[in-house]
Amino acid sequence: AQSVTQPDIHITVSEGASLELRCNYSYGATPYLFWYVQSPGQGLQLLLKYFSGDTLVQGIKGFEAEFKRSQSSFNLRKPSVHWSDAAEYFCAVGAPESGGGADGLTFGKGTHLIIQP
C-alpha cells in the first residue's frame, strides 16, 4: 500500500518570500501524485498533478512541483508567496497499478502554511 509523509506540520513564511513544502511518498512504482490546498472550512482545490513525463509540473496560482524518483519526493514550490496563500496543503498519492484513483487517494497529514506580513 502507498503512503505519504509531509514532514512539516507548520511552516511560516514572510510575504514575498519563496516557499517549499516537502512531500515524500512510499510506493513500489511511480505513483500518481497530487497537491491540494484547503482554506478553512472549505473543500480541497487541486493545485497540480503528476502522472508521467516532465518531472517539473506547473500548477495554478503560480505553484510548481518537481517529481524526484531517486528521493521519492514531490515537493511543492512557489517563488513569492502572497497572504492569500495561507492555508492547509495536502500532498496525495494514487496507485496506478490498482486503478489510480479507484482506491481513492492517500493523503499526507498536511502542512499548515502561515504567511507573515
Partner 1 sequence: DTEVTQTPKHLVMGMTNKKSLKCEQHMGHRAMYWYKQKAKKPPELMFVYSYEKLSINESVPSRFSPECPNSSLLNLHLHALQPEDSALYLCASSQDPLRPQYFGAGTRLSVL
- Interacting residues with partner 1 (CB under 8 A): 32, 34, 36, 41-46, 49, 90, 96, 99-105, 107-110
Q: Which is nearer to partner 1, 11 or 44 (CB)?
A: 44
Q: Which is nearer to partner 1, 41 or 117 (CB)?
A: 41
Q: Which is nearer to partner 1, 21 or 110 (CB)?
A: 110
**C-alpha cell of residue 69:** 524518483
**What is the smallest separation between the CB atom of 58 and partner 1, expressed in angstroms?**
14
**Of the candidates 78, 72, 84, 81, the residue with the CA atom closest to the CA atom of residue 108:** 72
**What is the smallest separation between the CB atom of 80 and partner 1, expressed in angstroms?**
26
**What is the smallest separation between the CB atom of 61 and partner 1, expressed in angstroms?**
14
CB 74 within 8 A of CB 23: yes
C-alpha to C-alpha distance for 88 and 72, rounded to whole angstroms:
22
**C-alpha cell of residue 44:** 480541497
Q: Which is nearer to partner 1, 17 or 46 (CB)?
A: 46
Backbone angles phi, psi at 50, to 5 degrees: -130, 125
CB 109 within 8 A of CB 10: no
**What is the smallest separation between the CB atom of 99 and partner 1, expressed in angstroms?**
5
Cα of 22 vs its chain's centroid, Å: 8
